[in-house]
Amino acid sequence: MSVRERECLQAMADCGDAQRAAQRLGVSVRTVHNELASVRAKLGVGTTLEAVVWALRRGVVR
């Protein structure tokens, strides 16, 4: 998982939605969506919530 992908996951864990995550990271909402789509594919999960839960349980994000 790339640094940017981890940053997007952390922002989603903290902020709860892509709009706020994008503002926090200083990127577009589209960038957040694209990074999260990549994360979901790598993890083999269907939703961003599943990806965030996966990352929280494994200590990838706090």
- pTM of the predicted model as reported, rounded to 2 decimal places: 0.91
> Which CATH number belongs to the domain containing residue 50 in this structure?
1.10.10.10
Evaluate whether residue 62 is within a structural domain: no
Instruction: Report CA dihedral (38, 39, 42, 48) to the nearest 10 degrees.
Output: -110
- Per-residue pLDDT, 45: 98
- Per-residue pLDDT, 32: 98
Q: Which of 20, 58, 19 is nearest to 39 (CA)?
A: 58
Domain enclosing residue 7, as ranges: 3-57
Q: Which residue has the tokens 């940017």?
A: 4
Per-residue pLDDT of the chain (62 residues; tens, 9 = 90+): 999 999 999 999 999 999 999 999 999 999 999 999 999 999 999 999 999 999 999 999 99
Number of domains into which the chain is organized: 1
